[in-house]
Homo-oligomer: A and B are copies of this chain.
Amino acid sequence: MKKSIGRLVSILYRKNQVYLDIALKPLNITAAELPFIARLFARDGVSQEYLSSYLSIDKAATAKAVKSLALKGYVRKDKNPSDKRANQIYITEYALRQKDEIMKRLREWTEILTQGIDKAEIDTMHTVLEKMVNRVEDWEAHRHGEDG
């Protein structure tokens, strides 16, 4: 039986997590924590709610990852100057010093994944994956619209 796209994505995701746990262990980062660091590299000083929503990771798992990353020195929490009740999450100097090493390990993974596959095919897959993510986001927006 031909595997569905959902199933292939699930397999690849789980293998991705296994790989990242191994590859990032020397840096004391888990696969579950990586998306938070990667997001903060791109956009620093954001709320926990933003991270949870942007990454589609539930609030409990987000809180757990942020807490763990703070203990390891990768992020720090600070009061939001415009709203004293809300915390903002910032990337640390220490994390920025590890950035090249993290990115190198991520590139190695992409190389394993894409080895021997035609560049044009990979570009198509990249485009289709992006379109699918957009489709789902449209569907979510529509569904939330129906709720309200």
Seen from chain A, the residues whose Cβ lies within 8 Å of a Cβ on chain B are 1-16, 18-20, 35, 38, 42, 55-57, 106, 109-110, 112-117, 121-122, 124-133, 135-136, 139-140
Contact = CB atoms under 8 A, between A and B. Distances in A.
A114 B136 contact: no
Contact of A16 (B9, B19, B112, B122): B9
A56 B9 CA distance: 12
A41 to B, nearest CB: 9
B139 A112 contact: yes
Given A15-B56, A114-B135, 4 more contacts: A1-B42, A5-B125, A12-B129, A18-B56
B16 A126 contact: no
A6 B117 contact: no
Contact of A12 (B2, B57, B121, B132): B132
